[in-house]
Amino acid sequence: MGSNAINDFIDKLTAGNRDNVYLSVTPGIGLEMIQIDEASHTVKNYAVRPLAYNESLREISNMDEFKTALTEMFEELKISPKCNVTINLPTVLFSSIEMSLMLGDEAITGAVTSEVEQSYVFKRHDPIVQWWDSNTGSSETRKLFYTAVQQMVVEQISNTLAELGAFLVGVEMSLLSTLRALDYTGLTADEMKPGVTWNLLSISSNGYSLVSMVGKNIVDYYEEPIAIKSYEGDEIYNVITSSAQITLMSYPANYLVILSDTNSVSAEVLAKNLNVDGTVEYIENNKFKRKEFLPVSLDVLPDNILKISLQSIGAAISKISDYPITCNFLSTAGEGVAAEETVTITIGENEYTTTPTMAMVLSVVVSAIILVPVLIAFLLLPKIQATKQAELDELNASIQQVEKEIKELKEAQQMAGKFSVKNEINKTLQDNRIKLMAYSAIGESVPSQLWLSYFMTEGGGNISIKGGASTVEDVYTFYKNLKEYLVSSNLKLQKLEMVSDDVDEFMSNLPVTYDFEISNVSAAASAADAKGKDAKGNAKSAGKTTGKAVNLPPKNKLLSDEPIN
Tell me the pLDDT tens digit for each residue of 363-383: 666 676 777 777 777 777 788
Q: Is 416 helix (H, G, I), strand (E, B) or coil?
A: coil
484 vs 442: CA distance, rounded Å: 11
Q: What is the pLDDT of residues 138-170, one digit of tens each?
A: 667 888 999 999 999 999 999 999 999 999 999
Q: What are residue 39's phi and psi, to 5 degrees?
A: -65, -45
Can you give the pLDDT at residue 1?
A: 44
For the ranges 287-291, 473-477, 512-516, 540-544, the lowest mean pLDDT is seen at 540-544
The CATH superfamily holding the domain 194-287 is: ATPase, nucleotide binding domain (3.30.420.40)
Rounded to the nearest 10 degrees, the angle between the axes of helix 63-77 and helix 151-164 is: 40
Report the DSSP pairing between strands 450-457 and 350-354.
unpaired
Query: Which of the listed ranges 69-83, 343-357, 390-404 does the model predict with the highest average pLDDT?
Result: 69-83
360 vs 12: CA distance, rounded Å: 9
SS3 content of the chain, % helix, strand, coil (to 5): 40, 25, 35
If pLDDT is split at 50, 70 and 90, which confidence band does 338 have?
very low
Q: Is the pLDDT of residue 488 over 80?
A: no
148 vs 121: CA distance, rounded Å: 10
Can you give the pLDDT at residue 387?
A: 85
Percent of the chain with pLDDT over 90: 44
If pLDDT is split at 50, 70 and 90, which confidence band does 347 have?
low
Rounded to the nearest 10 degrees, the angle between the axes of helix 356-415 and helix 3-13 is: 110
467 vs 455: CA distance, rounded Å: 9
Of 346 and 457, the structure prediction assigns the larger pLDDT to 457
Q: Is the pLDDT of residue 355 over 70?
A: no
Q: Is the pLDDT of residue 4 over 70?
A: no
Cβ(531)–Cβ(475) below 8 Å = no
Span 293-313, mean pLDDT?
94
Span 461-485, mean pLDDT?
85
For the ranges 221-225, 239-243, 338-342, the lowest mean pLDDT is seen at 338-342
Q: Is the pLDDT of residue 100 over 80?
A: yes
List, as one string, the DSSP characters of 239-258: HHHHHHHHHHTTS--SEEEE
189 vs 255: CA distance, rounded Å: 12
- H-helix or E-strand containing 268? helix 267-273
Q: Is the pLDDT of residue 296 over 70?
A: yes
Cβ(459)–Cβ(426) below 8 Å = no
Contacts of 261 (CB under 8 A, 6+ apart): 26, 27, 28, 202, 203, 204, 205, 285, 286, 309
Can you give the pLDDT at residue 295?
A: 94
How many helices (DSSP H) and strands (DSSP E) are in the chain? 13, 22
357 vs 347: CA distance, rounded Å: 19
Cβ(466)–Cβ(552) below 8 Å = no
400 vs 272: CA distance, rounded Å: 103
465 vs 442: CA distance, rounded Å: 10
Can you give the pLDDT at residue 560?
A: 38
Q: What is the pLDDT of residues 411-456, one digit of tens each?
A: 777 766 565 666 666 666 666 777 777 777 777 778 888 888 888 8
Can you give the pLDDT at residue 346?
A: 58
Can you give the pLDDT at residue 421?
A: 62
For the ranges 36-40, 80-84, 97-101, the lowest mean pLDDT is seen at 97-101
Percent of the chain with pLDDT over 70: 76
